[in-house]
Amino acid sequence: MVTCCICGLEFKQIHARHLERHGLSVAEYKSLYPEAELRSEETKELHARAIKEAINTPKAKERASKTSSEVWLRPEVRERRLKVHKEAMNRPETREKQAKSSREVQNRPEIRERIIEAKKIAHNTPEAKERQSKASKQGWLRPGVKEKHSQALKEAQNRPEARIRVRNQMLSEYASGRRKLTTHGYSKYVKFLFPSGKELILRSTWEYAVIKWLVDYNIEVEYEACGFQISERTYYPDFYLPIHNLWIEVKGYAWLGFAEIWKVFSQDRNTLLIDESFYKNLDVNLRQYFHAHFGMCFPVIPSSSECFHEEAIAAE
């Protein structure tokens, strides 16, 4: 029960008719007595129960759905709602919360398995394959895409870390016996053993013949000591003799563009190019070159380029 603050009578609810006797409206009564209650707790519960029952009737639900649809179809309402939604979604805390929730859901084992299975099914459908093929063709047909991709591939392949990674992979494949032929010619990878016991993997029997000649005459040599950036490519000479400051390139087969790179590289450096004509009489030509340029004399040993070739094949 509630009590009227003017006359002191008790009611379940103080109606506007009762307040008219005092010459007041409901709003004026609330302004005079802000803390006064107009309904008892029992009346409040009855009203709430009646509202719930009225809302849950099929007729009320249909009317509410129709009204809501009409409201949402108004352009100004949709624009305002979309604007509010975008602002809410672009807040850092909202994005972080959503990403965290998404990760937690996707990391569940049953969800991950379901996602993987759904992707496999979706990607293996004829429509998906055709759509992916069409999109790929359209992408490659765009101006500059092929050139950009080719340029990026060249830059990636010419990085020192990429060459080191390829060489390490080549060494592991050679050691395990999975690979014997190079990807750019017919020469086999061969193993050279220094007198100290150190092993060196070479890319051709020609390189084996050259390094064996140098080691036999106690000439210090380094294999692919460093790279040089020339014409958008990192070039690695085969051998470097630090005492003589000489760069040696063994080239039985010259790949496209090598002539220009070698011309630029040998402009201000001491270089020696061992090509097919030089290699045919390797021992004599090397003796003559070192005698003419460094004044070195060598004792005659029974080895020749043919012997080097046989030893290289035996080393494989």
Domain locations in the chain?
190-315
What mean pLDDT, rounded, does the chain reach? 81
pLDDT category of residue 222 using cuts at 50, 70 and 90: very high
Q: Which CATH superfamily is domain 190-315 in?
A: VSR Endonuclease (3.40.960.10)
- Please compute the mean of the pLDDT values over residues 192-196 and round it to a whole number: 86
- The least confident of 21-35, 249-263, 265-279 is 249-263
* Residue predicted with more confidence, 304 or 211: 211
With 0-12 / 13-18 / 19 or more C-beta atoms within 10 angstroms meaning exposed / middle / buried, residue 99 is exposed
Q: Is the pLDDT of residue 78 over 50?
A: yes
- pTM for the predicted model, two decimal places: 0.42
| pLDDT at residue 159 in the model | 77
Strands (E), the chain: 2-3, 10-11, 190-193, 199-202, 222-223, 228-230, 233-235, 239-241, 246-250, 271-274
Reading the block at residue 46, the tokens are 């009855």
- Please compute the mean of the pLDDT values over residues 296-309 and round it to a whole number: 56
For 118-175, the pLDDT digits (tens) are 888 888 888 888 888 888 888 877 888 878 887 887 777 777 777 777 777 766 766 6
Write the CA distances from 312 to 52, 113, 301, integer angstroms.
95, 53, 18
Q: Is the pLDDT of residue 189 over 90?
A: no
| pLDDT at residue 250 in the model | 93
Reading the block at residue 284, the tokens are 């004599």
* Residue predicted with more confidence, 98 or 252: 98
Cα–Cα distance for residue pair 234/152, rounded to 1 Å: 14
Strand-pair category, 246-250 with 271-274: parallel
